[in-house]
Amino acid sequence: MTQKIEKIVVATHNKGKLKEISALLLPFDVIAISAGEMGVDEPEETEATFIGNALLKARHSAKATNLPALADDSGLEVLGLNGAPGIYSARWAGENKDFNVAMARVEKELKEKNTQDYGARFVCALALVWPDGTQKAFEGYVEGHLEFPARGENGFGYDPIFVPNGFDITFGEMDADKKHAMSHRANAFKQLIAEVFEK
C-alpha cells in the first residue's frame, strides 16, 4: 500500500457515480466525498483516452483539495459505431446530462448505419492520484450488446440499453448489488483494491 487512505475525494459531480464508488470503498473504512461537494470545478477533458481523462481529473482534484483523489472516466463503446460514443459518452447527453437524448442518438446512428452489429462494451478507467503526485491507473470492461427501447429505472447513463453477456436483462433492470459485482467499474476496482488497499 502506498499510504493509508482514510478520506478520498471522488473527482465527480455525478451523484450516481459517487454512490457506486462509495459502496465499493465501504469495506476499507474510506470516507468518500465528491469534488462537487468540496466546490471543486470539473476540468475540461482534453485527453484522447479514458485513462488520460481519469488521470487529468484526479490530478485536478488532488491539487485543489490536498487529498488523495480518485477519478473515473467511463463510457460506452458501440462496435457498430466504430467505438463511439467512447470518451464522448457523457458529452452525447448534452449540457443537461440527459441520457435519454444520448441513448436516442445511439439508436438513431445505428439505424442510419444500417448495421446489425449491436455489440457494445462499457469501459471504466480509474485513476488514483495523491497530493504528492504519486499516481496509479487501471482499466476494466464488461462486454454485452444493446437493446432498444431502453428498459429499467436502476443505474444511470446508458444502463437501460446495455445487456451484459450471459443475461437477458439490462443494467437498468438489474439489482444494484448484482450490477456492482460484475460491472466495468467493479472490474477496474478489483485491480485498484488489490494494488492499493490489500497489501
Q: Is the peptide bond between 164 and the residue preceding it cis, with omega within 30 degrees of 0?
A: no
Catalytic residues: 73
85 CA to centre of own chain = 14
Strands 69-78 and 7-10: parallel
Q: Are the C-beta atoms of residues 1 and 59 closer than 8 Å to each other? A: no
**How many Cβ atoms from other residues are within 10 Å of residue 44's Cβ?**
9
User: How do 162-164 and 119-129 pair as beta strands?
Assistant: unpaired
- Other CB atoms closer than 10 Å to residue 169's CB: what's the count? 15
Query: From the centroid of its chain, how far is CA 87?
Result: 10
